Structure 1
Amino acid sequence: MEKIYNLAIVGGGPGGIASAVEAMILGIKDIVLLEKGENHSTTLRKFYKDNKRVDKDYKGQKVELSGNIFFADGTKESTLDLFDEMLKGHHIESHFKTEVESIKKQGDIFEVSTTGGGVFKAYFVVISIGKMGQPNKPSYPLPSSLKNIINFNTSACSKNEKIIVVGGGNSAVEYAYFLADNNQVTLNYRQRTFSRINDVNAKILNEYIASRRLKTRLGVDIERVEDSEGKVKIIFKDGSEDIFDRAIYAIGGVAPIDFLKKCGVQIDESGVPIVDENHQSSQQNIYIAGDILFKSGGSIAAALNHGFQISQHIFKNGYSKIQKS
């Protein structure tokens, strides 16, 4: 008989991990976690520098933890260690390099289909996929011939490159000064000042600019991007232009709207999934956790609470109906 899981979790970030762990603690059996990355917590691994500080109260968001995962201020490494311990200690069945393509309901059971052709069946589903998996792209087209050197994170960067970083948030600033230690970097932002970055990043940015380790092009937007013999040619709206070895866009992320719609999940005009007080979506028994529930950005602590609240609701309002002896 084909296995039917009680709970399938899509996404191996904090919200997905907490949903799995909290459900297991409650006694919910047969849980599977599906993550398209090579390991859990892809956002932390890819977008956080080594030893980067990770705060419980991210950007001043005060969150009181309500679940069983003790998360406190630490570093990228200590946070990854915590989540490693949670998954291994509670024996969560995890499938990495497994990207979910669609979720369809057949009677009382969801069929979670992957791009590799696999199908996982479950009574309940939690979707906890981060925004960074679907980065915002500019309004102007990007040449497909440059797809290997027009990036949305720093993972493909090497040394001694001429790089332009586009964006005005904390991620853009962090990418810029991090890369500037080994590359010739220009930070471009259409506004003249950075109003959305934290004090620490503002201080470091000013130091890099003052010491001429980092160039800026502020108050000017990009008109278009062209392929110049395999390099990135940027034409600005003021008529100036420059050529770079690589371009990195850090202009935010959006909820993967097409995927959510395919799963029958309704979203609001801002692209945020519509959920009730228990984080249950418009599709009954599909729950949403993590930063896709926030228009601007959530936090690890908030995602952990989502997982706790979701597992509590599943346990009290549905699991008992399908629980096997």
Structure 2
Amino acid sequence: MQQIYDLVIIGGGPGGIGAAVEAKVLGLKHIMMIEKGDNHSQTIRKFYKDNKRVDKNYKGQEIELQGSIDFRDGTKESTLNYFDSLLDRGEIDSAFNAEVESIVKEDGEFRIVTTKAGYRAKHVIVAIGTMGKPNKPDYTLPLSLKERINFNLDKCSQNEKLLIVGGGNSAVEYAIELSKTNNVTLNYRRDTFSRLNEINLELIQEYNGQEKLRLRLGMDIVSIENENGLVKVNFSDGYYTIYDRVIYAIGGTTPVDFLRKCGITLDNDGKPEFDENFETKTKGLYLAGDIAVKSGGSIAIALNHAYHIVSHILKSN
């Protein structure tokens, strides 16, 4: 039988690490932490220069830590070392370089599908940051086309001529979904798809065969221009096409799309919905850290979220 975890944590930042440590301290036995990067604390590693100061609080806030973690102000290096020591103490399973594709609750338990494997859990904490941004192409995107160039599905409507750019699962899922109500072309610079799961590969071949959407493979985009308010796309084969909208799905973090994949509802402002215990409308599914604050998150806040959520899980059992 596949292991059913008491808790699966999505994200290896302060909120995720805090949740793993507090869960172990407070008595949960089977814990898994999933991180899409190759190590924990990706935001600190990527966005902080060497020896940069790392503060417990944010812009003068004074927040008292409630749990068992005694985090103090330090440098990038001392902070990473401290989090290393916390993770090394406990028997916590982890999966790095694993990106979550979906979270679904079925028959009272969660099924988490990642690019590496699938997991089952009684409870899930999503503890992702908000500093990540979608990847953008090397060529210039005209500012005048800002409303016609997307990095998620937020502004898409119907009956538009669309170009989706990318060769991963997100790009294919965008193309398939939008082709139901739009004229869609999917552009990928390679001749074949190499990163798709079996379902998406089968679907894209089926849709292309039925001409529900067109594939434009093996060519790159050279430049983007404004053509009378529409998007003129110049390709490396010397031809160009004019589209109503271009949607890039070439990697990077797009929190709105990710939250939807996790089954988390959003309010009218596109913010995730959760209660005073940081529990979403799906019972047993929680949010922690930057993703669960309106503005001004901090390491101290993330650690307190973790303690509060784990305490709530134990009370609810």
* Bin for the TM-score computed over the shorter chain: 0.5 to 0.7
Aligned mates of 1:254, 1:3 — CA distance in 2 = 29
Structure 1 position 297, deviation (Å): 3.4
Aligned mates of 1:274, 1:70 — CA distance in 2 = 30
Letter of the 2:275 partner, please give it: D
The answer to whether structure 1 residue 24 and structure 2 residue 24 are counterparts is yes
The DSSP-based 3-state class of the residue aligned with 1:102 is strand
CA-to-partner distance for each residue in 1:91-144, whole Å, 9 max, x for gaps?
Answer: 22111111111001111110000023x1000000000111123459773649x9
Aligned to 1:298: 297
Letter of the 2:279 partner, please give it: Q
Aligned to 2:258: 259
Aligned to 1:66: 66
Aligned mates of 2:106, 2:312 — CA distance in 1 = 22
Letter of the 2:86 partner, please give it: M
Aligned mates of 2:307, 2:9 — CA distance in 1 = 13
CA-to-partner distance for each residue in 1:247-287, whole Å, 9 max, x for gaps?
Answer: xxxxxx98711221222211223332111111111111000
The DSSP-based 3-state class of the residue aligned with 2:62 is coil
Aligned to 1:81: 81
Aligned to 1:97: 97
TM-score (normalised: structure 1): 0.61
Aligned mates of 2:270, 2:70 — CA distance in 1 = 31
Aligned to 2:210: none
TM-score (normalised: structure 2): 0.63
Change (3 A) 1:269 1:62: farther
Aligned mates of 1:136, 1:300 — CA distance in 2 = 26
Structure 1 position 63, deviation (Å): 1.4
Change (3 A) 1:64 1:270: farther
Aligned to 1:192: none
Change (3 A) 1:22 1:70: same
Aligned mates of 2:134, 2:292 — CA distance in 1 = 16
Instruction: List alignment gaps of at least 5 residues for structure 2.
Output: 137-142, 151-162, 167-220, 226-251
Letter of the 1:110 partner, please give it: F
Aligned to 1:8: 8
What pairs with 1:1-325 in structure 2 (closer than 5 Å)? 1-116=1-116, 118-135=117-134, 139=146, 141=149, 256-318=255-317
Aligned mates of 2:258, 2:57 — CA distance in 1 = 30
Aligned to 2:171: none
Percent sequence identity is: 54
Letter of the 2:292 partner, please give it: L
Change (3 A) 1:134 1:107: farther
Aligned mates of 2:92, 2:59 — CA distance in 1 = 31
The DSSP-based 3-state class of the residue aligned with 2:59 is helix
Structure 1 position 61, deviation (Å): 2.4
CA-to-partner distance for each residue in 1:202-242, whole Å, 9 max, x for gaps?
Answer: xxxxxxxxxxxxxxxxxxxxxxxx967xxx99xxxxxxxxx
Letter of the 2:24 partner, please give it: M
Instruction: List alignment gaps of at least 5 residues for structure 1.
Output: 148-225, 234-252, 319-325
Aligned to 2:202: none
The question of whether the paired residues in 1 share the 8 Å contact of 2:14 and 2:303 is answered with yes
Aligned mates of 2:254, 2:271 — CA distance in 1 = 7
Aligned mates of 2:132, 2:110 — CA distance in 1 = 23
Aligned to 1:210: none
Structure 1 position 70, deviation (Å): 0.7
The DSSP-based 3-state class of the residue aligned with 1:131 is coil
Q: CA RMSD in A?
A: 2.9
Aligned mates of 1:259, 1:51 — CA distance in 2 = 32
The question of whether the paired residues in 1 share the 8 Å contact of 2:108 and 2:122 is answered with yes
Structure 1 moving runs of 4+ over 3 Å: 134-138
Letter of the 2:263 partner, please give it: G
